[in-house]
């Protein structure tokens, strides 16, 4: 299982537009990706391709989240997803 941490850079946190962009990127992958707040137990991780899950996560600007995935290409996939989360998508 691969795991990466990312700090939410979007000013509104992982909500609405940033959540939509991130969920779409996860949905294009051939592997399952989960997301959880760094302070939450791993078993509370949510489906990272679900906009509703992402919005209910409540990740605000500056919060650290943990992404987990397993399978071929998991490391590379998580690296690309971290870049999305660590970009202020509200500024674009």
Mean pLDDT per 10-residue segment, the chain (92 residues):
97 92 97 97 96 95 97 96 94 70
Virtual torsion, Cα 29, 40, 88, 32, nearest 10 deg: 0
Residue 3: CB atoms within 10 Å: 14
Catalytic residue among 15, 48, 69, 77: 15
Q: What are phi and psi of 10, to 5 degrees?
A: -65, 135
Task: Answer yes or no: pTM beyond 0.75.
Answer: yes
What integer pLDDT is reported at residue 74 of this predicted model? 97
What integer pLDDT is reported at residue 90 of this predicted model? 79
What integer pLDDT is reported at residue 92 of this predicted model? 64
What integer pLDDT is reported at residue 54 of this predicted model? 96
Q: Does the active-site annotation cover 45?
A: no
Domain at 2-91: CATH architecture: 2-Layer Sandwich (3.30)
Tokens representing 17 are 């537009």
Q: Are 37 and 53 in contact (CB under 8 A)?
A: no
- Where exactly are the structural domains of the chain? 2-91
């Amino acid at each position: 299982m691969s795991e990466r941490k990312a700090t939410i850079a979007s000013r509104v946190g992982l909500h609405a537009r940033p959540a939509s962009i991130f969920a779409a990127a996860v949905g294009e992958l051939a592997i399952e990706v989960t997301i959880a707040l760094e302070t939450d137990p791993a078993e509370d991780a949510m489906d990272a391709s679900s906009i509703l899950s992402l919005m209910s996560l409540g990740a605000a600007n500056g919060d650290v989240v943990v992404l987990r995935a397993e399978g071929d290409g998991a490391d590379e996939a998580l690296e690309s997803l971290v870049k999305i989360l660590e970009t202020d998508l509200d500024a674009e």
